[in-house]
Amino acid sequence: MRAIYFDGNLHLRSDFPIPVPKAGEALIRTRLAGLCRTDLEIIRGYGEFIGVLGHEFVGEVVQADSHPALIGRRVVGEITAYCGRCPTCRQGNHRHCNHRTTLGIRGRDGVMADFFTLPIRLLHPVPDSLSDEQAVFVEPLAAACRIVEQIHVRPDQRVMVLGDGKLGLLIAQVLQQTGCNLLVIGHHPHKLAILEKRGIRSQLETESVDSDQDIVIEATGTRAGFTTAGSLVRPGGILVLKSTFHGAVTLDPSRLVVDEITIIGSRCGPFAPALRLLKQGLINVNPLIEATFSLDDGLAAFEQAASGGLKVLISGSTGNRSGGSTDRVGKYL
């Protein structure tokens, strides 16, 4: 099968073995995959991952021996495959399983291929009312929903989102549902305009801003974002970190101690609320789509995504398949 494979270089392969599902797993045909900032950071060295990239998807189940009713269904899926047996899993904290693999990120080939496998217990059927283009956003939208799962955001609180990338725009739409005093800071007027149309306040980072926020959510995807976020949260406030990137950051623990700042790392989130928000029309993802590439043009999709635009999608349909060459290689380090 075809697959976008990373081993220090980025390859489009057409000789990759079709995976064989283990007991309790499904074989899934990729219909549409989303290219995430994490995918770009992986090819810069984050996580030292080697394998097929991609973790945002909507797919069609083609084999599910233990759940044949799923065959032919469109599904999305949680990305952390947990063991269910370790002490962490027994406490119900499956996302932090000591033996976990993570789709396209850690120890498990991802979705930028014709087929992939995932445990059936991680799959969620897609309602017929949602398009593939909407459903492919469920995973990042769930990550946005994780914030309100971790902290109670009150209507009277001042909340700032740093970052106008795909995740930042989704986070803003989720937080809008809380009625909080919300402000989004970004680089790009055309991205912030998407939020303004939905009644969400925003401004460019070059403009002055109140540095006494109750909650600051860092979603810039950059090391500099951590420092900026820390300078904007009030004493006793909450700093939520969403960015994953290759490299280290400088931390001033004294300020955190003196000002009693709470730092919360926030990663994957709940799929059911994300699906409901999309189904109810409360989150609009269509303006976030910049381009769709065929799997055969996957390397060009990475180039487009690296240019700093909005969401780039990769279609799993056959398209104009180029044949058996395995030497199409890209490097973006």
For residue range 290-299, list pLDDT tens digits in order: 999 999 999 9
- Residue with the bigger pLDDT between 6 and 321: it is 6
pLDDT range class, residue 252, cuts 50, 70, 90: confident
| Integer CA distances (angstroms), 52 to 19, 75, 146, 271, in order | 11, 19, 26, 23
Domains and CATH numbers, the chain: 3-137+285-330 (3.90.180.10), 144-265 (3.40.50.720)
- Residue 169: closest CA among 184, 180, 156: 184
| DSSP assignment letter at 283 | S
pLDDT at 250 (0 to 100): 77
Please provide the average confidence, as pLDDT, over all residues in the chain: 91
Q: How many CB atoms lie within 10 A of CB 34?
A: 26
pLDDT above 90: residue 324: no
DSSP string, 111-156: SSBSEEEEEGGGEEEPPTTS-HHHHTTHHHHHHHHHHHHHS---TT
pLDDT at 243 (0 to 100): 85
pLDDT above 60: residue 327: no
pLDDT at 249 (0 to 100): 76
For residue range 83-97, list pLDDT tens digits in order: 999 999 999 999 999
pLDDT range class, residue 333, cuts 50, 70, 90: very low
Mean pLDDT of 4-33: 96
Q: What pTM was computed for the model?
A: 0.90
What percent of the chain shows pLDDT beyond 70? 95
For residue range 135-190, list pLDDT tens digits in order: 999 999 999 999 999 999 999 999 999 999 999 999 999 999 999 999 999 999 99
pLDDT range class, residue 317, cuts 50, 70, 90: low
Q: How many CB atoms lie within 10 A of CB 138?
A: 29
Strands (E) located in the chain = 3-6, 10-13, 25-35, 51-52, 56-63, 74-77, 80-81, 101-103, 107-108, 115-119, 123-125, 158-162, 181-186, 202-204, 213-218, 233-241, 262-265, 289-294, 311-315, 328-330
- Residue 239: closest CA among 173, 160, 175, 186: 160
Reduced to 3 states (helix: H, G, I; strand: E, B; else coil), residue 96 is helix
CA dihedral (104, 108, 114, 118) positive or negative: negative
pLDDT above 80: residue 43: yes
Q: Which residues pair with 289 in a beta bridge?
A: 311
CA dihedral (150, 154, 157, 161) positive or negative: positive
Contact partners, residue 92, CB within 8 Å, separation at least 6: none
| Integer CA distances (angstroms), 309 to 77, 244, 303, in order | 25, 18, 10
Mean pLDDT of 86-110: 94
Question: Lowest-pLDDT range, 33-42, 93-102, 269-278, 318-327?
Answer: 318-327
pLDDT range class, residue 209, cuts 50, 70, 90: confident
Residue whose pair of structure tokens reads 């390397």 in the numeric block: 299
